[in-house]
Amino acid sequence: MDIKISKIGFGGGCHWCTEAVFQSLLGVEKVEQGFVASTKPNNSFSEAVIVHFNSKCITLNTLIEIHLLTHSSKSSHFMREKYRSAIYTFDNGQQEAVNSLMVKFQKKFNDELITKVLPFKYFEPSKENFINYYFENPEKPFCETFISPKLKLLLRQFSKFVDHKKIAHIKK
């Protein structure tokens, strides 16, 4: 079987949260946590992840829908520079596909999505002690308060895409 691994970047909230969400999915081969920058005017680094995924197991459509539902994709706030709501694309074809999907998703939301579709430019990985943060610290208050609810949402709404072994400790 020929495996096609693609990659896409997601930014929104804390990269610990975003990393844990995508690490919990079947078909996601690797999640790189760190800081992503695009082109001007979005060329400052913002917390984000790069998701490497098997497009035969999980689609770009599903990944984007999960991203939009697991961070504040409809609200602007004073921390948006640090936590830019964005989807970072790696080529023009992917950017066109994501833009089309975003038009479709906007119709499903009552409020305007603020998530930007941006070209990927630079990546700086997080320090080693922050990588895989949730799965090494699931009982820390931050993880229980902010990340576990996102994983519960995955179990409720995207159960067939969840690696249940990874988040067996989470109760719906």
Q: What domains lie within the chain, and their CATH numbers? A: 5-161 (3.30.1060.10)
CA pseudo-torsion sign 151, 61, 86, 88: positive
pLDDT beyond 90 at 24: yes
Kindly report the pTM of this predicted structure: 0.94
Q: Categorize the per-residue pLDDT at 122 as very low, low, confident or very high, splitting at 50, 70 and 90.
A: very high
Q: What are the residues whose beta carbons fall under 8 Å from the beta carbon of 31, sequence distance 6 or more?
A: 19, 22, 23, 49, 50, 51, 52
Percentage of the chain beyond pLDDT 90 is: 80
End-to-end distance of the chain based on CA atoms, in angstroms?
Answer: 34
**Mean pLDDT, to the nearest integer, of 117-145?**
94
Chain CA centroid to CA 44, Å: 18
Beta bridge mates, 125: 34
Q: Categorize the per-residue pLDDT at 134 as very low, low, confident or very high, splitting at 50, 70 and 90.
A: very high
* Degrees, nearest 5: CA angle 88-59-52: 50
Beta bridge mates, 35: 47, 124
| Residue 25: both structure tokens together | 């999915």
* Pairing label, strands 116-119, 86-89: parallel
